[in-house]
Structure 1
Amino acid sequence: MTPPGPGRNSNFDWNEFNPESYLEHNYAEARKDDIRFVSTIGDFFLGRLGGSDALRGVDVGTGTNLYPALAMLPFCRDITLIERSEANLKWLEREVLDYSRVWDPFWRELAAKERYPEVADPAGALRTKAVVESGSIFTLPRNKWEIGTMFFVAESISADVEEFREGLRCFIGSLVPGAPFAAGFMEQSQGYKVDGRLFPAVSITDEDIRKCLKGLVEDDLQFTFESVGDHPLRHGYTGMILACGRKRRAETGTGV
């Protein structure tokens, strides 16, 4: 893993993050790895939640990625989208009012499953349920939300190992005991550029995630991997990791 250094979260101007550029590069064309991830998330939530339809949901560090929120739609009465960057917040406030067609392939994947067709108008449902909120992963309230997602955040907001660990623990801590969650990570990321501006990352593997979550989640934690394949999203990473699990009903550790 990347050693602690000057690349801490507070050393970067996240208000300079360009959401339009990030969206165009990452989601303008639905990638197979993202589609497989959203499908796995949908199956996991269906398996854990059944007929639940009034949960309090959260997506931490939403940025310009709405597919985690879409995966929670049938199960939630409200979904809080937490974001720090002012530019991303403005983008989200516009996007949840009437989201763009780039999210249609993700919804089609989900709509092929049970429960999701109950949401006849996903754009309208998101508009009604989504609450865009300014906030930091490091200051999340504890034991508040009953279902949660966090995609490409904890490892992609700092080059400091301890901040990665703290961010991941804060995400789990914000959920009520027993709450299901899905979290995505870039594997062994060396950092990334958005509109020519460099942003930090911590190089992690699934083992780093397991160690951090030890004692904080139930034993049914499961991982899905997507290698970079022939069409990598960018240079400087080896794949994508999806972790799905449930917060431990009685916390017995704080990770390592």
Structure 2
Amino acid sequence: MNGMYRCKGGTKPISKGKRYDAIVAQNKETVKYQHQAVVKEKRRQELANRAAASYRSGGNFNANTVLNPDAPQIVAMWFAGITPDSYHFNEQDKFTAGVRQHMWMDVVRKYLQMRKGTKVGETIKGLDYKTAYGAKMNGLPLKMMMFAELADFASNLNGDKKSTEGATRAILGSFNLKATVSDYHGLNRTANVDFELTQKMTVESLTRGVSPEGYTSGTKEGPAVVLSDTAHAVFPAGQRELTFTVTWSESIRMSVDQ
């Protein structure tokens, strides 16, 4: 409800005038500062969790690998049992760069550009990715898609940075994705879109082949089972369920109802 304040010539609604504008501007700066402080503290806690998980288990990885791992490094630490129970990656992380290059993200961006009736503050769901979609996009049988992703993973392991997207895709498999329109600039018709991806890495996702229903419904793959069992004999604490949460923001030219 609008208040009133005394001014020359009587009273004016507090929602009008320079004083009100100054208060609004100050509040906006305060909220912005508080948000930045929260983000900074969450980042500090996340990095501390990554380091603690590694060094508590006697990890011999260098600090950069532990604090900012890429896809192959995550797999190595997962086998060795020195990852935390969950990762929350943001725009500062290498892994997020691989996610943003994922071929499905091009589909999502185009969908958002064509979508009608989007509102500021709206969370858009139904953007999930399935490995079957990737196989169809690449014109491959579903099982061959798995081998294509493993080939990209191996290439990335050997230093081919062009295969980063494929290596990240190999780790994630299918995933859940949602997008929230947090702001809109009407002048250039550009929206700020906040993305959140979630997925789990499990023994099942390693040892079972893909199927239209997902990894848990696939049949066990002999070589993958041997790899899992051999690694587990050496690193009994490894291959625990690992949860991924990846968040980032993008500016996308799209139509938004204001």
Please classify the TM superposition score into its range, dividing by the shorter chain length.
under 0.3
TM-score, structure 2 normalization: 0.24
User: Higher Cα Rg: structure 1 or 2?
Assistant: 2
TM-score, structure 1 normalization: 0.24
Q: Which has the larger share of helix?
A: 2
